[in-house]
Each structure stands twice: as structure tokens, then as C-alpha cells.
Structure 1
């Protein structure tokens, strides 16, 4: 493509010498014409040039120069000329503006990358049709792509951009096609990392400090040896920080170089200057009136004589990686002193002993003046404001801002990654500030529509979950979009059916009863019908059925002590079990009924960070006890005698009498059930999250003669998804094994489980959150403490992926490998595939 240029051509006429000295003769514009290869309207060009008839101009004057500059800077032309023509004796002149349009981009072809990356490159470089093709566009595109791939480790990446003019174009415009050829080459591996000048710290310690830049090592799996410039520059900073952590505050990298090897690898050579080792001397606090020296010293936690550690000193003053950490800055920021500054100053370094002054400017306490929210198009203001911890007139607190971000993210109504607090109008003189929280609504309602084969026939499921429901607008027709929303309530409907069972359930919860405090009221109703299989017709026998009807009322409230992350909950539930000619072995009687009236008390604490889908820190634990009344204490039944009679009966000949005894034993279910679960989240590297977890459950009986009930049991193994039964069973996930295969047929009364997951996000956007995971798990289920050994576990490991879309909830797939045999078998179970639908995180 020809080179673009600008040319300003002045036609000089004979002008007296003294006139030239004053800037040239003055001429009055008579006419202005536009010529050349341009598709723009002449009047538009003249207007844009700001030249007009009757205007005085001079050869080489500012107005002509400005007109050329303005037309050139429009980036619409590749040639700009202005001519003075037809100069008359009375100093009138005609102006001719001669232009040539820049060519427009017709189409672009990108070679050398995958199809999915081409649109990304077009968007990043604005290579859209009709874009003006300039030399700057070509150069910028080439340099951007070259640097992009070099930063990703493709040091030998080459990008070539070629344009060709489109011929036979019916439109009178110059158009070009563009070919972008990308040759990334291979990522360059690091053969060796050599340090020069290090006597105090070994090569091994320095290499370890470089967390992202590693040399080739066949036994290393988690960190690759490919060179990435951005990571390398960060690691050079980490290298110096390693010296500072060990007292060498003057350490620095003198130079670093890359050597290209014949085997297409590189070697890194880093020259360091270590300097002398220092220790901390006296540390004085200056300017502090709010807190005493002794208190601040306890927060600083540095003693005279300690090895000088500049990195740790900085964290004790203000830890940027932990916005809610315990440091001196946060101590002030969380008690109103927003305008405070804390600066450590070295006042002496004699004898390699550094004396410090921590100079504090406290400023005035700051108070919130205005607290606003924007971006909530669906959720009503009161739902948001009740979660906000920063109130007008209250003292400024960074901790309360961070907590507000977390609470808004935990609602599930907003994109937790996009919640932004914007501090406005900070006034250190008045001690006031405004804060505005920007939120981004995301779909909080979910639909579950499934169909598949299982249990001998087709199973269909329809579920609707509205997690930001508005009950008060249920009669308001205008609020149905498609349902009333915005008040933060939850309403769920679910129907699942096959020829062998039907289940219906409804639940509703109000998290802030009366809107004054976080006091949640919830209720649920469920009904299930199950039918036995008829081997003759191979269909469901509807004359042999088992019905379960249940209702639950629950309340929960947020506690203030020991902190307000604790939630105390209580629930009262009732289930009625009705059997008609339903002999399965679950009960020894096939006709009859049983009742389950129970009270559940629970305590949970959840302080996981911001995003409930992908927490990056904090913990979540829950302990609960589900209790029935101890009927055997007051109903007058001699269960010991019944047990002795039952043990003496023939299980075949006396089946009817056994059924009568068991009908009496289970007329009202008597039990207690204790559960505990705890999860921890830790960000071990950027976005890489480790999640350990432990679980335990125990189902017991008040009266051993009455025995442990056949309901409310634990079923271990598989994907952890519950089935259609409403008998209180707990389905526990343990991947790498078939569903519920690690418990007896009737379930276990004790289980424990340990799990370790490593998670990494692929995307955390609003439309979908996707993360990959790997896991190690172990668990066991038994029927008595005599058989319980918390370390005798069925073990598994595997990988998986999770996709969360607001409209459909959590979806995922896991590939788990069971290292132990199933009960009764001798060979390990091997690989299992598990599909996850709607399971918690």
C-alpha cells in the first residue's frame, strides 16, 4: 500500500520584501471549491475547514495552516492540499481544497489462530468494515498482536499485515482487504535461571521466591517452565522482596538478561546486589492521640532487635492484600479516621540498626453524609438498604464498607463481581463524605426442566424458583414481569413424576419479617406418592402405594454475639406416612401409618467472601440437631417386652405378628439426629481457591429397645443429588462411586466425610460463572459406633467443571475415580461420571 502523506502547497506570487517580513499579503477569499477523490459533500468539507467567503487569509498564514491541520487530523484523508488560484489585483483569491479520501476496510482475514479467537482480535483492534485504514492502524495492530503473544510466552511471535485494494467496486470509494497473518511459534521454555552476586541467599531460595518463573523440571506438574514476560517482571519484584524479608533492605537487581539457546530454549541471568543485613532498632510513634503507643505496638508486632523485614513492615502498616486485615491503617480506618495517613520514616541506620518513626496524621473523624445505591432496576431499595452497614450520620468504617459488599453479594440478586463502592465528596475540613454503591442486577429466578429415564421409566421434572419474589404485589397485574419481583422473598414450586412416583412441593420464605430486623420466616409443604412395581404387567401397581405428606415451619434470626455472622434457626416439621399393601422390607408391615413430629435447632456461621458462587475466602460451618419427643417415657408401652417377643418370633411364620409389633414401634417416630459440616476457603494463588471440608452425621435412639428408626438415614456415594423420597433421608455426595452405593440398602445411621477441592475460575461474568476443579474425597457410612472408624474410608479423586447461569442454577460434570471396592466386592470401583444439577456450591 502506498505511503500516506500530507502536502501543503502554497503558490507564491511576487510580494514586496517588507510585506513578507510582516507575515505576507492579506487576501480576501472570493470562492472556495473542493476537488479530488472524495465522497464527502463539498459544503461539509468547507465548513469543517473553517474557511469561508470574505475571510482574510495570507500565504503561509495561521488560518490556512489550521485548515490543513484540522482536515488532516480528522483521519479521513490521506492527501490534503490547499491552492491559492485566480488572485486579482484587488487582493481577492479563490481557494481550492484538493483531497483524497483514506481507503475503507472492506473485509479482514486472520490466519494463524483458532476460529474462536478471530472475533476477539477484530474487536480488540477495531478491524470492522468501513473503518478508515491508516498506516497507524496497521502499525498499531501489528505491534499490539506481537506484544500480546510475547506476554503469553510466545517470544518469537511474528505478525504480518498486508492490504490489497478492492477492484470492480461499484461504490466510488477506495476499499481495501486486509490479511493479518499471525505466526505465534512455540512458547519458549526456560532452560536455566542463573544468579550472580548472591552470597547471603542460595540459588534455591531465590528460585523459590520466583513463584511464576520456573526452569525446566520433568517432575514439576503445577508450574510450567514457559517464559511469560509479565510474570517474570513480577517475580523480579518478589526476588527483591525476598531479600527485604531477610533484612537486606538495600538489595536490588542490577541487571537481567535473556540468552537464546540453540535448542530453542532460553536462559535467564540475573545479577543481584545484596547489600548489608539490617535489624530493627527503636520504633517511635509520632502524632497519635487516639491510640496509645503500647496499643499500636501490639498491632505492629515488631520488636527492637528483630531482623529488618521491609515487606512485613509494610503489611503491618497497611496490608493491601487483606482489606479487612489487622493493621494500623485499618485500626484507624475502621473507627472513623478516613483521612488518616501512616508513614514509616527511617530516622537512623547507624551500625545497620534502623530506627523508625511511625508518623501518623489522624485528621478529623469522618461521617457518612449521603448513602445511595444505583443500578437496581428490579430489586426494591429497602431490600438493599437493610443490608447496608454504612448509614448516614454514622462514623466512617472501611470494615463496614467491605461487609456491605459481602452482604449485597450474598443476596444472589446482583453480580457479586461488579459491586462497587464509590466514595464521593470527601471533605477533610468538615469530616464528611458520600458513598454510592453501584450494583448490577442478575437473574435470580431459576427454572428446572428435566426429562430422562431411571427407576424403570421416564422421569419428568418441572421446578420454578423465584428468589427475589414480591408477595405484596401478587394481586398487582402490572407487576407480573413474568412474576412479581423485588422484595427479596423466595418462592419455589416443584413437580416430579414417573409411572412409579409423584412428588409435589411448595416453599416460601420471608428473610426480614416486618422489615425491621433479619428474622426469617419460612414454610414448606410436600406430598409424595410411590407405587410398587408389578412384575406381571411391568408397570406400576397403583393399589400398592406409600404416601408421605409433610409440612414445615421455620424461623431464623441473626445473632449479635459472638459476632453477627452467626444465624440461629429453629423449625417444627410433621410428616405422615401412609402405607397400603406396600411390603418392601422398609417396614415389616405393609398396611398402616406412621407419624414424624420433630423439632430442629441449628447454628450456622457463614463469613465467606462476597460471591456465593465462587467464594475466595472465609468459612462456612453448620451444626444442627433434629429431635422428636421421647414418647417411650410417657406412652406406657413396654418396648423391652415387645423387643423380646419380636426376637422370639419366626420371621416367616409370624410375619403378621411382627408387623403388628413394628406398627406399634413406629406409630410415632422417636429419634434424635445430629449433623455437623464445615467448609473453609483460602486463595492459595491469584484466583486459585482451596476448599477443605468435613462432615459428620449421627442418627440415634432414646430407647435402645425401640431401636433406630428406618427413616431419616444417611445414604453415601455418588453425585449427592436427592431422589424422590421424602422420608427425611440425607443423600451425601462422594464422587467416584455409584449413587448411594456406600451405605446399606436402608441407609446408615452414622457417616463422616472429608473433602479437599482446588478451584480455578474460567470466567466469573454476569451471564455465566464457570470454574474448573479437582478433588480428593473420603467417606464412610455404618450402622453403629462399634463399626465406626473415622479413618477407614472409601477414597476417590477426580476433576470436574461447574457452570452457574442465573436462569438455570448450577450445572456441572465430575469424573471421579474410586480407589476402593464397593461393599461386598474386592476390586476398586474405578471411574464414574457424575452430572450435577442444582446442587449447592
Structure 2
């Protein structure tokens, strides 16, 4: 055989051999097989059977190789986020049986984290916020996300040069585990040294810097907004600069360039280049597509007319104010009256010379009605307590205003975190004109315990108080409802005990906000008893043979009104107090033994439309005017109080056997039934200045009068001005009026005052408004004065003060606070200013 044919033969032989080998090791692609078995390789922390279970495959089942079943297995395993690599191999084929190998590479598990470069007390928060916890699967994505989170976190605090280095080290003490070392180098905080503008002629640099609400230059005296550069805030401020021009008519104003220059002293300079453009004016503003409202009605809401200086920001707000859910704009006009599906689109149709014409194109759509209204998240509060407060009902015409009002009502209940109440629009159907809504709430603790002690009144004073603000009296005999007390029906029950060596006070109150469950008619009742013992100067102890006992009860009804609007409430209360002196000498009376009764009726009109959070209102107002009065007994008892001392029944024999008026009997007659009327007014207004900075302004006035001047003004029910305003233990119905910067009750005489007025201004800023604790800081200016009668009343002759404070509200303990106030004026009888005073606030109103 020639070499040529020999070579061809060898090539054919090799090809045939390769063909046979291929027949032994290949399989038909897309052919169906019976799964003969699965082998799992590469596992470390899991056993083979667990992984096989994850796949869903089982021996004996028919599979197609390759096919969708194998792809689904791989996708399912990837979805577990447990592996970094997954491969499926064929190991052998026996007839119609196929055997597979599943090779996986497990992700390592985080066993320990060490963070360096920050203070130890910050580490726990970092681990929690960055989700650095034991057991997490460590991937490249996890490491990258952690690094990015930390860099961005510190950039927001002004550390623009933050560097984060993350390393992982195998943990030999555990299977397939790694330790993580996170090194944080924040660098120095970068502050803004200078912000300069180029190209601005129409607006001053001061005006432009003022428009930048978040990006501020470094300034020693600025404490409410620190100088730091945050990219997101800076971008928002660039938009605010353009808006400042739009508000003045410069529609075409734009920023052509902004740059950041780094200085050697770890500060930066910001340069902003501007093109201002020309000033524009509004031309014709036409409405197209409106049928529900006339052009005149819409123009009144828009509030802009031809010839006005162009104001793009105001124009947009009058169309749809994104900053106020209850804004006075055209969009809300439609949405408050059922047009949920309406669309309002302003279009610039012409710009000639300096005049811009607009069309406001309106698609009104179909009226929408609520189909389903639900509430979720209430585990303790019963459904009926929530649903009775809803302003949105199934079958009712949609109203955005009612949705906003419902959020307020739920927040004002005090049972839910007002910051997290979120309405969710469900299944809007423009064709059928229906929509559903769900209010998601998060419950918080609504009961409070008051446990405190202090020194005052000659001894230690202890207080124990329990307030259950979401009580259920109908379940009071239901053992299963005690968790720890029956809750969920929206009733309020309070118990309070205060005692020392010299007095004991007990009180109980109950409030049902919906008497009968059908209408918002509030029923309230309270009873109280106080025992006051005389101080014995010889022993320094209480003389329990000398006592002053007060027993009282009050019943009240309050009803929500629909006129003048549905924020008003009219309340009535009937109260009775019995004062009993037993061998007790006091300046209140001229008799050591005797009694006095106080049966009074109180009517009050109040209005409260403050925003959602009752602890920290950001908008709205609240005021109350009340009249408390007794029957005019002197009009029909035929007693001449001016000449009572001339009556033999009210005379006694003097030390020289002369006949003199009996002061004890006279006072006993005068005060057997107290006769008076009391008028009070209080009002507070809340204004959101910017961000969450809130200005609260307030005023108060009170007057105690007498029907019969011969009887005079009673020694009870008087006003005592000055200090923290805490009641402590008061025996005579007095009202303690807060005026910080002065000692308690120091601005009224020993017997109190019959007239007072007070003015206040507070600036409030929240530190946190979380359900567990709401904290805000405040500064204040106050002025007030009290007077013995109307003749000496001068509303402008005030005792003034200023100061700082902080408030902490915790659901379990109520309101706590401290104020440092400086009184600028002297206390009556002194010549030096009152100076600095420290006041502790416990359980007062917000």
C-alpha cells in the first residue's frame, strides 16, 4: 500500500474511532429521560438532600435535557441568594435514564463585624441601619451597597471626603463564614465658605442666598441651619434660585454653570453663573373644557389676571399646590367635589414681546364615589371607634378635603402614630366612577403612668397617676380582656393619688367621647376628695385634729357642631364642691369650723383645627371661651349683706361687753353658697415658617366677678400667675397660670387675682417625632400680669420673660419638660429683676 493510501486509511480509522467515542458520551439534545439520580457537589453549610429538596426534582420523574425544567431549577436556586455559582452536569446515561451532578458554590456567611473610625456609641446604629448582622450572605453587591450607604450617610452630614474600606477575612472557626472589617475615614467636615453669583443684576446676592434653604455659608451665629454641602439639597436649591426669578417675572432665568472650589482650610466655595432674561407679564388666561365651574369661579381661585407680573411659582401653586394637601387651588376645587379623575393642565399658548398667554385645559372626567373604605393596622382599637371618626363613607362622593380631615381626626385620637397615617387609593375606576381607600395606621401606647416624687409644702410629696386613654368599660368584667386592662373602645379613665404628711388628694374621672355610640356627644364625669391637715409649728408635724376637707363632683356634656363649621364644640358642665373646715384656721374664711358649697354651671365654646399631630401641631389654631357661673342667690334670699353686721343673729359680745359684728357668722353666711361668675378666653395659633420650624402665638384672659358687690368677690376660684403653672395641691379651686421666668404664683397676691392676661410666642423645632418618644426644642417670649379688679386692669403693663426649653412626650409617661426662663421685671415688692428661673413641666398640655 502506498504511503498516500496509508495516510487516508489512518484518517478514516481515527474518524471512526472518534465517532464511536462520541456515541458513548453524548446524548440526544431535547430528549426525554427518566431521572436516575442527582449528586450535589460543592456544598459546605448545607447537606445534599436539602439542596435537592430546593430543586424540586425527584428520582424517577421524566425530564427533558436540556429543557425548561433544568432552567427552572437553576433560576429557583439563584433566587435563594445562597450561592455564587450553579452548574448542572450529566454524569452518565443508562438507556433512558440520566444521572445529573449539581455543582454549587455557596456564598459565605457573615459571622462577625468590626467597625473602625467612628465612636463606639455610634457602632450599634451603623450596624442596624446598614443591616450588618450575623448570618447575612456576603456578596459583592452586599459589600458595594454597604460601602455606598456609609459614604452617602456621611456626605449628608457634611463629610464630603468620606472613604469606606471593607475587607472580608475567612473565619476558620465556622463553616463557610467570613469576618468583615469596615474602616470608615470621614475626614474633616467640609463647610461652605462663600457662595457667589455671576450675571445677577435683577436680584441681589442676599436674595439669592436666602432662596437657598438648605445650602448656607459658614456663619458663627447661625445655629438653626448648619453650613454643610449635600449634593441632593444643593440641586434642590438651584431649582429654588430659578423659582425666585420666576416669582419676579423672569421666566427665562436659568443657571448656566455651577462649580465647587476646594480650599486649603477644608472649606469650599460655590460659584453660580446665571442668565436672568427679560421680565414677563401675564396676558390672557383662558379656561378650556370646564363645565362644572364657570370661568369666573375658576379665575377667582386662580387669583391672577391679565397685566400681573408673571409669577410661575404662584401660577403652578394656584393650579395644584404640591406643598399643601388642603391648598386653595383649582385641582383641589375639583377633587373636593368628587372629580377625582379630573386633569388640569396649564399650557403656554403665546409669548409675544413681554406678555404670555395661557390656556388652562381641563378634563373633568366622571364623578367618583367611594366604593370601599377600610382601615388596617389597628390591633387594639376596635373598628367602630375608628370608623365613627372617618369623614369618608362608602357611597359618598369623593372629597380630598374629607380624606385630609380623616387623617387629622385619626391623628387627634392619640391612639396612632400621627406621622405614619397613610391613605391609599384603591382600584380607581374612571369608567364606573368608583374608588376605594384604605387608611393604614400604626398603633402606639395610649395609656400613661405618672409616678413622681418631690419636696414641697413642708415635706415629701408623692404622686401616682394612671390614665387609660383607650379604655373599654363594657369589658370591665371580661377576664380575657385584661391585657393588662380592657382596651379598644376609645374611652378615657384616670385615677390619681397625691399625698404627703400634710395632705391627701384622690381623684377619678371617666370620659365617653361618643355617648350612645351614634353621635359625637362626649359625656364626662369626675369625683375628687382632698384632705388638708394643719401644720403644727411645735412638733413640725401634721395636726390631724385640724383638717380642711373638699369633696367634689362634675358631670359634663360636649357636642360637636356643624356651624359655624364642624371644628367647633359646645360643652356644658355642672360641678359641685363642698368645703368643710374642722377646727382649721385659714385666711380663706374667718371661721375655723363651718362649710361652704360651690354649685356652678360652665358653658364653653371651643374650636380646634390644628394639624394631625396633637403633640406637635404644625398648622391651624385652637381657642376656647367659657363662662362659669353660679345661681345669683343674693337676688332672692332677702339678705342685706351690706348691713349684715347690724343683724343681731350675726353679732357677738366684744372683750369689753360691747356688741360687735360676728365675723365668723358673717363669713359663714356669705360663703355658705358661693356666688360668682368667671369668664375665660384662650387662643393659640400655629404657623409653619419653613421645614418643621413652627411659631406658636397665644393669648389668655380671665376675669372673676361678683353679682352683688356687698357680698364681694369670693376668695375661691382665683388666678395665681407665675412659674410653671403646675397645680400641685390646691384647695380653693384656684387656677395656676404659667408665666416662666418668675417663681410659682409670685405675680399675684396671697389671695390671688380676679383679672389676668397673658401673651406668648414660642418657636418650636422637633428633634424626633417617633412613636416611642416625641422630642422638640423651643424658645419663648412671654408677658402677663394679674390685677385685683377691672379698674386697675392694664393689658400693656406686663411682666416679661424669655428663655429656652425642651419637651419630651412618651406614651407611657406623658409630657415631660424643662424650661430656663429669664424674668426681665421685678417680682411685686422687689426692685431687682426676677432673673433666671428653672421650671420643670410634668403632664401639662402641649
The answer to whether residue 774 in structure 2 is matched with residue 769 in structure 1 is yes
Q: Distance in 1 between matches of 2:433 and 2:598?
A: 60
Match of 2:704 among 699, 704, 713: 699
Instruction: Tell whether 2:755 aligns with 1:750.
Output: yes
- The equivalent of 1:474 in structure 2 is 476
Partners of 1:15 and 1:25 within 8 A in 2 = no
Q: Which of 103, 115, 118 is equivalent to 1:113?
A: 118
1:80: how far off? 5.8
1:688-719 deviations in whole A, cap 9, x for unaligned? 22111111111122222322211101111222
SS in 2 for 1:117: helix
Asked if the contact 2:585/2:591 (under 8 Å) is kept, the reply is yes
Alignment of 1:249 onto 2:251? yes
1:276 is aligned to 278
The equivalent residue for 2:555 is 553
In structure 1, the residue matched to 2:183 is 181
* 1:627-652 per-position Cα deviation (integer Å, ceiling 9, x unaligned): 12222222222222348999x99999
Shift of 1:44: 4.3
Structure 1, unaligned runs of 5 or more: 1-12
- Give runs of aligned pairs for residues 1-12 of structure 1, distance below 5 A: none
- Which residue pairs with 2:787 in the alignment? 782
| Secondary structure, aligned partner of 1:507 | strand
Paired with 2:654 and 2:383, the residues of 1 have a C-alpha distance of 65
Separation (CA, whole Å) in 2 of partners of 1:818 and 1:459: 28
CA distance in 1, matches of 2:327, 2:653: 68
What is the SS of the residue equivalent to 1:611? coil
Offset at 1:33?
4.1
Q: State the number of aligned residues.
A: 819
Give the direction of change, closer, same or farther, for the CA distance of 1:644–1:675 in structure 2 (3 Å limit). Answer: farther
Matched, 1:40 2:42: no
Which has the higher mean CA deviation after the structures are superposed, 92-101 or 203-212? 92-101
CA distance in structure 1 between the aligned counterparts of 2:524 and 2:97, rounded to whole angstroms: 89
Distance 1:693 1:68 in 2: 68
1:279-300 Cα offsets, whole Å, 9 max, x none, are 1111111111111111111111
Give the aligned partner of residue 312 of structure 2.
310
Partner residue, 1:7:
none
Tell me how far apart the structure 1 counterparts of residues 524 and 197 of structure 2 sit (CA, whole Å): 65
CA distance in 2, matches of 1:66, 1:636: 101
**Residue 592 (structure 1) aligned with residue 598 (structure 2):** no
Partner of 2:296: 294
Distance 1:15 1:742 in 2: 112
Structure 1 residues 162, 747: CA separation in 2 closer, same or farther (over 3 Å shift)? same
The 5-angstrom pairing of residues 181-220 of structure 1 reads 181-220=183-222
Q: Distance in 1 between matches of 2:140 and 2:739?
A: 60
Which residue does 1:101 correspond to in 2?
A: 106
Which residue matches 1:355?
Answer: 357
SS state at 1:349 partner: strand
Query: Which residue number in structure 2 is paired with residue 677 of structure 1?
Result: 682
Matched, 1:460 2:466: no
1:819 aligns with: 824
2:645 touches 2:661 (CA, 8 Å); kept in 1?
no
Contact 2:704/2:713 (<8 A) preserved: yes
Cα distance in 1 between the residues matched to 2:795 and 2:248: 43
Contact 1:642-1:661 at 8 Å conserved across structures: yes
Q: Decide whether the 8 Å contact of 1:410 with 1:610 is kept in 2.
A: yes
Moved more, 405-414 or 458-467: 458-467
Q: CA deviation at 1:444?
A: 2.2
Bigger drift between 79-88 and 114-123 goes to 79-88
Kept in 2, the 8 Å contact 1:38–1:99? The answer is no
CA distance in 2, matches of 1:578, 1:246: 72
1:697 and 1:15, CA in 2 relative to 1: closer, same or farther beyond 3 A?
farther
2:534–2:546 contact (8 Å) kept in structure 1: yes
What residue number does 2:568 align with?
566
Q: Which of 125, 148, 151 lines up with 1:143 in the alignment?
A: 148
| CA deviation map 1:144-195 (0-9, x unaligned) | 211221122111112121222234x2x4x23322221212223211111111
2:527 to 525, 542, 547: 525
Report what 2:670 is aligned to.
665
Q: How is 1:575-590 mapped onto 2 (pairs within 5 angstroms)?
A: 575-590=577-592
2:624 maps to which residue?
622
Gapped regions of structure 2 (runs ≥ 5):
1-15
User: Does the Cα contact within 8 Å between 2:611 and 2:617 map onto a contact in 1?
Assistant: yes
Aligned counterpart for 1:839 among listed residues 826, 841, 844: 844
Residue 127 of structure 1: aligned partner:
132
**Matching of residue 718 in structure 1 with residue 723 in structure 2:** yes
In structure 1, distance between residues paired with 2:557 and 2:539:
47
- Asked whether the 8 Å contact 2:646–2:661 carries over to 1, the reply is no
8 A contact 1:15–1:24 mirrored in 2 = no
Q: CA RMSD in A?
A: 3.2
Question: In 2, are the aligned partners of 1:651 and 1:658 still within 8 Å (CA)?
Answer: no
Say if 1:95 and 1:389 are closer, same or farther in 2 by CA, change over 3 A: closer
Q: Give the Cα separation in 1 of the matches to 2:376 and 2:87.
A: 52
* Aligned-residue offset at 1:96: 5.3
Distance 1:650 1:268 in 2: 93
**Residues 621 and 153 of structure 1: CA distance in aligned 2, closer, same or farther (over 3 Å):** same
Segment drifting more, 391-400 vs 791-800: 791-800
Deviations 1:310-367 (A, max 9, x none): 1101111111212112211111111111111111111111113111111111111111
Residue 449 of structure 1 pairs with residue 455 of structure 2: no
Equivalence for 1:8 = none
Partner of 1:374: 376
**What SS class does the counterpart of residue 745 from structure 2 fall into?**
coil
Deviates more, 1:274-283 or 1:603-612: 274-283
Cα distance in 1 for residues equivalent to 2:663 and 2:126 = 76
Deviations along 1:386-416, one digit per CA (max 9) or x if unpaired, are 2211122221111111111111221222222
TM-score normalised by structure 1 residue count: 0.91
Equivalents in 2 of 1:355, 1:748: separation in Å? 65
Q: 2 CA distance for matches of 1:15 and 1:66? A: 34
Specify whether residues 251 and 659 from structure 1 end up closer, same or farther in structure 2 by C-alpha distance, changes over 3 A only.
Answer: same
- The question of whether the paired residues in 1 share the 8 Å contact of 2:645 and 2:660 is answered with no
Q: 1:99 to 1:339 in 2, by over 3 A?
A: closer
- For the 8 Å contact 1:368–1:432, the answer to whether it is kept is yes
Residue of structure 1 equivalent to 2:11: none
> How far 1:36 moved relative to its partner?
4.3
| Residue 803 (structure 1) aligned to one of 808, 813, 832 | 808
2:652–2:661 Cα contact (<8 Å) kept: no
Once the two structures are TM-superposed, the CA of residue 609 in structure 1 deviates from its matched residue by 0.8
- 1:351 and 1:150 mapped to 2: Cα distance? 45
Query: In the aligned structure 2, how far is the partner of 1:795 from the partner of 1:546?
Result: 36
